[in-house]
A and B are shown apart, each in its own frame.
Chain A
Amino acid sequence: MTNTTATAPSSRSAVPKNRALGAVVQNVRELSVLPGLAIVIVVGALVSPAFLSAANLTLILRQSAELGIVVIGLTFILLTGKLDISLESTVGLAPMVAAWLVIPAAVGGLGTEIDPLLAILITLVIGAGIGLFNGFMVVKVKLDPFIVTLAMLILLRGITLGISQGKTLAGLPDAFRYIGSARWAGIPAAIWVTAILFVIAGLVLRYTSWGRALYAIGGNADAAKAAGIRVDFVLITAFVAASTLAAFAGLMLAGRLASVTSGMGENMIFSALAAAVIGGVQLTGGQGRIIGALMGVLLLGTLTNVLTLAGVPTFWINAVYGAVILIALLVGRFGSKPGLR
């Protein structure tokens, strides 16, 4: 006792320095995306004068909105150290079922022609239900999250295809399309909504016990349990939140496309994982912030846009896209090195 207090003054003087250094290191990890983003923007500006136009920048944000919302949900799950790759199939299935129930039989619907607002509710409920099932399988049945959600990915994608018979469901009612197509103050509503969701997610992760529990569980689940955190509940609700967000992203996507296609959301999970990891969210759990995930989304969105503007041959776009993700990961890894001790 006497000894510990005796040594305290010397360490106390070192505290402000540590804190300052810690803050810098923590910021660096998220900011490490910025140089990459800057390069992509510079290249974009050089490639096409249209790149920096307001219309194009709005387009980038609008096209990134759905990915952004999926990334928010995925980040919740990744923070706990788990994984859900079936999110992209939820993006496709939830609005597909709702559209099937809402449009007339003549254009491929079931013929129930339910109220569009009810259809929106159904979309979200289906999302929540899928999340509940995934969470239950991972937490209670204790199956590996990768394998469970891989099976779910295939299953849900298959159901989507079965319901739609491979067709595109068009003729969606206006109310159903509203969130994906409306403009507020001249800017697509989807961008506003996504921005608000990012802010809410940031606040939830920082200022709620649920958000902090995600970090605690990802950092050390046993310790979280011993500390009285309801680990199972938090994990299952994280899965539910993520799938509900994915369903909502699907709704927005359907509104943007004015139809529901059977391949909606396909390959989205890879971009979502890339965005989260580029933004500093660790797959091992416990580390990462929503601002980083947002940076990752913006980088990928801008990149896709620049590749298109640059006229990269369609067949080569994926290769370039992949290469840039790889480089961004390397830059991020380099930038976050001090934080890894």
Chain B
Amino acid sequence: MTTTSPSIVPAIQVDGVSKTYGATKALQDVSVSILPGQVHGLIGRNGAGKSTLLRMITGLEQPDTGSLRFFGEPAPAASDPKAWQHQVACVYQRPSVFANLTVAENLFAGRLPTDGVKVSWRRMQSESERILAAWNIQLNPRTLLSDAPIEERQMLTIAKALEAGSRIVLLDEPTVQLEGAAIRRLFDKVQELQQSGVTFVFVSHFLREVSAICDSATVLRDGKLLWSRTGDDIRSDDLVEALLAGQEQQRHRADTKSISLAGSPALSLKGVTDKGGAFTGISFDLAPGELIAIGGSGGSGKYSVGEVIAGLRKSSDGDILVDGEKLATGNVKTSQRAGIGFVPADRHRDGYVPQLSVAENMTMGIMDQIAPAGVFSPRRRTAISKQLISDVALVPPNPALAVSGLSGGNQQKVVLARALARKPRVLVLISPTAGVDIAAKDAIYALMLRALAEGVAVVLISDDVEELLVSSRVLIMREGRIAAELSEPIEEDIVRAIEGLE
């Protein structure tokens, strides 16, 4: 299935690998070969087997059948994690580093240089400077890693791996937590290292990123290899097609132009300023059934706007009106009662309680309605959550299941159901489709469109330009202020506005 010129030994050769967990065939006879110095995209929907394949390549798990080779040599024994680390390094969304230690200590964690007995800080410092310079990373060895941006932490992980001798780096959705400019810096770095012969495997949900940076790619579906290609064959459209496979790709631009602003707005911000200083003087009106998208780069304050409306932050100036009623900020319950539904930016951090059930998570925000006197009937709660489950088409539709057992897309549906549970007048969605597969993305947009059709006003705040394009009205924020209001924008308009290129 793969076409490799016989003269070049592949950096990674996966040969007929299968893996079964209980009744689930996670991987079935998958063969992939990746040449040295390539950036190889690994794509597939959630549950396609990407993670399983990654775990095989990093030696965290052994295949049931089939084999792995690195640079022609058989993979190290399972019992020898050191040898694996020598071959392969893996960088995750949230790089596993010691944020409480300095850059230098992180570089030398586990092998601190000593002068016989005591740790030699001086040698660690000079060695770190050399390594950071060698891999061209602008970090001071003395700074605490918690003060370094995420992409620099990822680069540090890469530098550490390369310094330890591995020449294969797996990037597992490295861009999810990053803003546009940081992604570009990371990609520049990856391409620079690629020139010097390092091989990358790049796992991502963002097809544009894959087609931008990868020179070969593998698509998995349901544990099987769909195709593995090199060179010009991988264009965005092909990737989309490969993932969708027969499904119609839906275009979600919401048609809300027809709504007139003459009636009273569902949501109105009048010169709102964040108490923490994240944004200043934000104003806009939103009619019932209208959608507005807010974009902007990292420090633009766009998330904070959503959090103030939702009651997680306080405003110091200006008014927020919901259906003409003034909203007191800084209290989630108050915002909920005023008719605000909220989907937070990071569902793992703010979205759900993993060990609690779907029913419990979905109804968490309406307990004051279900249990006015503090005591509730679980039967009633289950009935309500069953309705919500069918509203958001949760899979599996089981209210008793712990949310930790759901796929990312379905976890997000639980968070969305929670926001919808109180029948809100205004929905504030922050990056609602970050890190979910295409099918779940479609489902989430469909729910949003349905809410719009029912007259709910929606504020969609996102990092993802494609997501902003869903709206025909887009606000772009820069440095805490509205920098542009775009109508019917195309991608380029948005990117230019975010970057401040007029």
Give, as a whole number of angstroms, the nearest-CB distance from B235 to chain A: 23
> Which of A183-191, A203-211, A325-333 lies at the interface with chain B?
A203-211
Given contacts A228-B332, A341-B404, whether A222 and B355 have CB atoms under 8 Å apart is: no
Is A314 on the interface with B (CB-CB < 8 A)? no
> Which of B112-120, B124-132, B395-403, B479-487 lies at the interface with chain A?
B395-403
Question: Roughly how many angstroms separate A322 CA and B477 CA in the complex, as a whole number?
Answer: 61
Is B365 on the interface with A (CB-CB < 8 A)? yes
Enumerate chain B residues within 8 angstroms of A227, measured Cβ to Cβ. 332, 361, 364-365, 418
CB pair A230–B333 under 8 Å, yes or no, is: yes
Number of A-B contacts (CB under 8 A): 114
Mask of B216-250 contacts with A, CB within 8 angstroms, 1/0: 00000000000000000000000000000001000
Partner of A215, one of B332, B353, B442: B353
Partner of B440, one of A4, A5, A22, A222: A4
> Which of B29-37, B263-271, B276-284, B344-352 lies at the interface with chain A?
B344-352
Give, as a whole number of angstroms, the nearest-CB distance from A318 to chain B: 35
CB pair B393–A209 under 8 Å, yes or no, is: no
Enumerate chain B residues within 8 angstroms of A213, measured Cβ to Cβ. 367
> Which of A8-16, A68-76, A172-180 lies at the interface with chain B?
A8-16
Closest A residue, CB atoms, query B336:
A228
Enumerate chain A residues within 8 angstroms of B374, measured Cβ to Cβ. 208-210
Given contacts A3-B439, A212-B367, whether A8 and B376 have CB atoms under 8 Å apart is: no
CB pair B364–A224 under 8 Å, yes or no, is: yes
CB pair B354–A220 under 8 Å, yes or no, is: yes
**In the complex, chain B residues 360-377 whose Cβ is within 8 Å of any chain A Cβ:** 360-361, 364-365, 367-368, 370-371, 374-377
Question: Roughly how many angstroms separate A229 CA and B311 CA in the complex, as a whole number?
Answer: 12
Partner of A229, one of B364, B397, B402: B364
Enumerate chain A residues within 8 angstroms of B353, measured Cβ to Cβ. 215-216, 219-220, 223-224, 286
CB pair A226–B396 under 8 Å, yes or no, is: no
CB pair A18–B401 under 8 Å, yes or no, is: yes
Give, as a whole number of angstroms, the nearest-CB distance from B423 to chain A: 14
Question: Roughly how many angstroms separate A89 CA and B64 CA in the complex, as a whole number?
Answer: 57
Closest B residue, CB atoms, query A206:
B378
Mask of A1-44 contacts with B, CB within 8 angstroms, 1/0: 11111011001101100110010000000000000000000000
Is B164 on the interface with A (CB-CB < 8 A)? no
Question: Roughly how many angstroms separate A287 CA and B365 CA in the complex, as a whole number?
Answer: 20
Is B190 on the interface with A (CB-CB < 8 A)? no
Enumerate chain A residues within 8 angstroms of B371, measured Cβ to Cβ. 208-209
Give, as a whole number of angstroms, the nearest-CB distance from A185 to chain B: 29
Q: How many residues of B sit at the interface, in one of the four size bands? A: 35 or more
CB pair B247–A3 under 8 Å, yes or no, is: yes
Given contacts A4-B443, A12-B396, A223-B349, whether A216 and B364 have CB atoms under 8 Å apart is: yes
Closest B residue, CB atoms, query A230:
B333
Mask of B432-459 contacts with A, CB within 8 angstroms, 1/0: 0000000110110010000000000000
Is A225 on the interface with B (CB-CB < 8 A)? yes
Question: Roughly how many angstroms separate A24 CA and B400 CA in the complex, as a whole number?
Answer: 14
Looking at chain A's contact residues, the main secondary structure is helix
Enumerate chain A residues within 8 angstroms of B333, measured Cβ to Cβ. 228, 230
Given contacts A8-B397, A209-B368, A219-B356, whether A226 and B310 have CB atoms under 8 Å apart is: yes
Given contacts A4-B440, A4-B443, whether A208 and B396 have CB atoms under 8 Å apart is: no
CB pair B350–A7 under 8 Å, yes or no, is: no
Given contacts A223-B350, A224-B364, A227-B365, whether A216 and B396 have CB atoms under 8 Å apart is: no
Closest B residue, CB atoms, query A8:
B395
Enumerate chain B residues within 8 angstroms of A287, measured Cβ to Cβ. 355
Closest B residue, CB atoms, query A13:
B396
Question: Roughly how many angstroms separate A19 CA and B397 CA in the complex, as a whole number?
Answer: 12
Enumerate chain A residues within 8 angstroms of B446, measured Cβ to Cβ. 1
CB pair B332–A225 under 8 Å, yes or no, is: yes
Question: Roughly how many angstroms separate A213 CA and B360 CA in the complex, as a whole number?
Answer: 10
Partner of B344, one of A8, A210, A226: A226
Give, as a whole number of angstroms, the nearest-CB distance from A243 to chain B: 21
Question: Roughly how many angstroms separate A224 CA and B352 CA in the complex, as a whole number?
Answer: 8
Is B144 on the interface with A (CB-CB < 8 A)? no
Is B207 on the interface with A (CB-CB < 8 A)? no
Closest B residue, CB atoms, query A222:
B350
CB pair A1–B349 under 8 Å, yes or no, is: no
Question: Roughly how many angstroms separate A11 CA and B367 CA in the complex, as a whole number?
Answer: 29
Give, as a whole number of angstroms, the nearest-CB distance from A237 to chain B: 11
Mask of A227-242 contacts with B, CB within 8 angstroms, 1/0: 1111000000000000
CB pair B439–A209 under 8 Å, yes or no, is: no
Partner of B393, one of A4, A210, A216, A219: A4
Question: Roughly how many angstroms separate A95 CA and B220 CA in the complex, as a whole number?
Answer: 68
CB pair A219–B355 under 8 Å, yes or no, is: yes
CB pair A1–B375 under 8 Å, yes or no, is: no
Question: Roughly how many angstroms separate A227 CA and B355 CA in the complex, as a whole number?
Answer: 16
CB pair B376–A226 under 8 Å, yes or no, is: no
Enumerate chain A residues within 8 angstroms of B375, measured Cβ to Cβ. 207-209
CB pair B312–A226 under 8 Å, yes or no, is: yes
CB pair A225–B376 under 8 Å, yes or no, is: no
Give, as a whole number of angstroms, the nearest-CB distance from B321 to chain A: 20
Given contacts A4-B439, A19-B398, A216-B356, whether A207 and B376 have CB atoms under 8 Å apart is: yes
Is B342 on the interface with A (CB-CB < 8 A)? yes
Question: Roughly how many angstroms separate A229 CA and B377 CA in the complex, as a whole number?
Answer: 18
Give, as a whole number of angstroms, the nearest-CB distance from A222 to chain B: 5
Give, as a whole number of angstroms, the nearest-CB distance from B100 to chain A: 16
CB pair B355–A4 under 8 Å, yes or no, is: no
Question: Roughly how many angstroms separate A7 CA and B311 CA in the complex, as a whole number?
Answer: 37
CB pair A209–B397 under 8 Å, yes or no, is: no
Question: Roughly how many angstroms separate A84 CA and B446 CA in the complex, as a whole number?
Answer: 47
Give, as a whole number of angstroms, the nearest-CB distance from B389 to chain A: 11
Enumerate chain B residues within 8 angstroms of A220, measured Cβ to Cβ. 349, 352-354
Enumerate chain B residues within 8 angstroms of A7, measured Cβ to Cβ. 395
Closest B residue, CB atoms, query A212:
B360
Give, as a whole number of angstroms, the nearest-CB distance from B245 to chain A: 10
Enumerate chain A residues within 8 angstroms of B336, measured Cβ to Cβ. 228
CB pair A19–B395 under 8 Å, yes or no, is: no
Give, as a whole number of angstroms, the nearest-CB distance from A118 to chain B: 29
Give, as a whole number of angstroms, the nearest-CB distance from A207 to chain B: 6
CB pair A22–B400 under 8 Å, yes or no, is: yes
Enumerate chain B residues within 8 angstroms of A228, measured Cβ to Cβ. 311, 332-333, 336, 364-365
Question: Roughly how many angstroms separate A153 CA and B349 CA in the complex, as a whole number?
Answer: 33
Question: Roughly how many angstroms separate A224 CA and B442 CA in the complex, as a whole number?
Answer: 27
Enumerate chain B residues within 8 angstroms of A209, measured Cβ to Cβ. 367-368, 370-371, 374-376
CB pair B393–A5 under 8 Å, yes or no, is: yes
Give, as a whole number of angstroms, the nearest-CB distance from A117 to chain B: 28
- State the A residues within 8 Å of B (CB): 1-5, 7-8, 11-12, 14-15, 18-19, 22, 206-210, 212-213, 215-216, 219-220, 222-230, 286-287, 341
- State the B residues within 8 Å of A (CB): 247, 310-312, 332-333, 336, 342, 344, 349-356, 360-361, 364-365, 367-368, 370-371, 374-378, 393, 395-398, 400-402, 404-405, 418, 439-440, 442-443, 446
Would you give 5 A-B contacts (Cβ < 8 Å), ordered by A?
A8-B397, A11-B395, A14-B396, A216-B360, A223-B350
In the A-B complex, list the 9 residue pairs whose CB atoms are closest, starting with the nearest: A219-B353, A227-B364, A11-B396, A209-B367, A3-B439, A226-B350, A228-B332, A220-B353, A228-B365
- 15 new A-B pairs (CB below 8 Å) besides A3-B439, A226-B342, A341-B404? A1-B439, A1-B442, A4-B440, A8-B397, A19-B401, A207-B375, A207-B378, A208-B376, A210-B374, A219-B355, A222-B350, A223-B344, A226-B344, A226-B350, A228-B336
